[in-house]
Amino acid sequence: MKWYVMVFFLSYNEDGTRDTFIFNNPVYNSEMECRVTLTNKTHIMKYVHGLMLAYDGMLPGSIEMVNCINQDAYNEMFDLKKKQEGEHDT
């Protein structure tokens, strides 16, 4: 099963949803492989760099927590995002 790094921010949206970010690159083959990167300074710097690029240097808030999620959770989040974006388009 694939594993992804997910970042939880302290900020919330008007609808009560929480600001989050999921790295889809790199993808890990095990939970342990993913978790090891969460405390590795080199990997942390890569994650920070990725966030700064994704948010054009302005994060939506302070980072509260970083965790690893599996492919099933990733798919659920992706489907939820697509559904929310579809609701906003109408």
SS3 16: coil
Residue 90: band (very low, low, confident or very high) from pLDDT cuts 50, 70, 90? very low
Q: How many residues are recorded in the chain?
A: 90
Residue 86: band (very low, low, confident or very high) from pLDDT cuts 50, 70, 90? confident
Number of domains in the chain: 1
Interval 64-74 mean pLDDT: 97
Alpha helices in the chain, H assignment, sequence order: 31-37, 41-54, 71-89
Cβ of 31: how many Cβ atoms within 10 Å? 13
pLDDT in tens, 30-59: 999 999 999 999 999 999 999 999 999 999
Q: What is the residue range of 35's domain?
A: 3-89
Give the predicted TM-score (pTM) of the model: 0.86
